Amino acid sequence: MKTFFNIHFTELKFHFNCFFTLYCLFFIILYTYNEQVLFLLIEPLIIIKMSNYFIFTNINELILLKITMSNCISLFLIFHIFILQFWIFNIPGLRKLENFSFFKFLIIYASLSFIYNYMFFKLIIPSILSFFIQFKIDSTLIDIFFEPRIYNFIKIIFSFSFFFFCIFNYLYLLILFLKNIKKITLIKYRKFLYFKILLLITLISPPDLFSQLLISFPIIIFFESLLFFKFFD
């Protein structure tokens, strides 16, 4: 006779197998259609530089590019499925109100994640790539030519994607936590909250004041807007 622990472990193993199978499926699909995915990622770069000419310098770089790109996107997709699986796994132990709250959390998170990805690839990435492309050394002594190396640009895109995605998730969880705190308490101690945000940004952002202010100001303005429109009780 199976114990409760065995049943629980069997269900957990089933969800893990589904999770791993979906990851492999995403990886295979993305690796198979890597050219189309690659074009979608570097389309802003093609528009900026008005050319689709790129180079690679190592013999194994194209294979490494395909594996890196397929793996990063698969992990990003499977992360959202992991949240859904976590809810499905815990449904039997939750009440109706708790299930409804978690379902509402998923809907809001999925909507905000879609908006974040659209803004990231349509606004943030073109701005970042434009900055790197236009950055050059003017000299009359030597000639310096820019040759875009495709693997470097993909690494830049995924590095910034991971960076902003961590900030996005941190802010979303922070807002959910602050939702249960009284508004008057938030107003009184918000300077400590801003200090914590600035400290976090200092640790994970480039070590220049302009980049840190560029990231921190929108976050602070967003939080002040939530206070102004009485989002918190």
Name residue 87's beta-bridge partners.
none
Radius of gyration of the chain (CA): 22
- In the chain, domain spans: 4-168, 179-233
pLDDT in tens, 67-92: 888 888 898 888 888 888 777 777 77
Give me the residue label for tokens 């400590």: 192
CA distance 108 to 172: 10
Q: What is the mean pLDDT for each group of 10 consecutive residues in the chain (233 residues)?
A: 66 80 90 86 72 75 87 87 80 78 80 80 74 63 70 82 79 74 73 76 63 70 69 58
CA distance 208 to 186: 29
- Residue 27: predicted pLDDT: 92
Written as six digits, the tokens of 222 are 């967003």
- Residue 158: predicted pLDDT: 84
Written as six digits, the tokens of 111 are 């909507």
- Residue 15: predicted pLDDT: 75
Give me the residue label for tokens 């570097």: 42
